[in-house]
Structure formats: structure tokens, C-alpha cells
């Protein structure tokens, strides 16, 4: 059986990048333990001088290749996360709101 890919959506703008990367690594470990192949915005070449819109275009490319999207804490406070969530719903990508809910899918 092929591993399902899960995109990690979490707020990035305005946060310490090293803290974001640590949060992603923690989520990745849990996703792997639950049979997912995790994908994050940092799994691509990141140009820290790019505009928010340019980042979102690249993030959507990653998201559209996934089976699920993990919505990390505070996602409702992020313009980018809300856009990723809307895109996922429009494309039939399963949303996951907690690591506990992974076990139920």
C-alpha cells in the first residue's frame, strides 16, 4: 500500500523561522509514525526574499500533490493557512485538525 502524503499547514509569516522549522519537525515525526509521508513548505527551495504570493504559489504546488492536509495550531490566524485549507477542500484533500484524528482516518 502506497503511503499517503500529508501537507503541513502552519503559520509562518511573522514567526521565528527556526521555531517554525522545529514545529514542523515535531509534526513530521507524528505523521510518519501514523503512516504518512509529510510534506512542508520547507521541502522546497525557499527564497526568503520572495513575496507572500510567490510563496503561496509554490506551497499550493506541494499541497495539490497530497492526500491530506494537517492544519497546525493557530491556523485560523493565518491568511496563508486559510487559503491552503480552502484549496484543499476545493480539491478533495482530507483535512486533519489534530494528530489524534489521524488515527481515525
Residue with cell 509562518: 12
pTM, 2 dp: 0.88
**3-state DSSP helix/strand/coil % of the chain, to nearest 5:** 45, 15, 40
pLDDT of residue 103: 47
Q: What is the DSSP letter of 77?
A: G
When pLDDT is cut at 50, 70 and 90, the band that residue 105 belongs to is very low
pLDDT of residue 80: 94
Mutual orientation of helices 52-63 and 79-90 as an angle, nearest 10°? 30
Cα–Cα distance for residue pair 17/23, rounded to 1 Å? 10
**Mean confidence (pLDDT) of the chain:** 90
Amino acid at each position: 500500500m502506497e503511503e499517503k502524503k500529508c501537507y503541513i499547514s502552519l503559520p509562518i509569516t511573522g514567526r521565528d523561522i527556526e521555531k517554525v522549522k522545529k514545529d514542523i519537525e515535531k509534526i513530521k515525526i507524528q505523521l510518519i509514525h501514523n503512516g504518512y509521508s509529510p510534506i512542508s513548505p520547507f521541502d522546497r527551495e525557499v527564497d526568503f526574499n520572495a513575496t507572500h504570493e510567490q510563496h503561496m504559489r509554490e506551497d499550493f504546488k506541494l499541497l495539490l500533490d497530497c492526500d491530506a492536509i494537517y492544519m497546525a495550531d493557530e491556523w485560523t490566524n493565518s491568511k496563508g493557512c486559510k487559503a491552503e485549507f480552502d484549496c484543499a477542500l476545493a480539491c478533495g484533500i482530507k483535512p486533519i485538525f489534530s494528530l489524534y484524528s489521524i488515527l481515525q482516518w
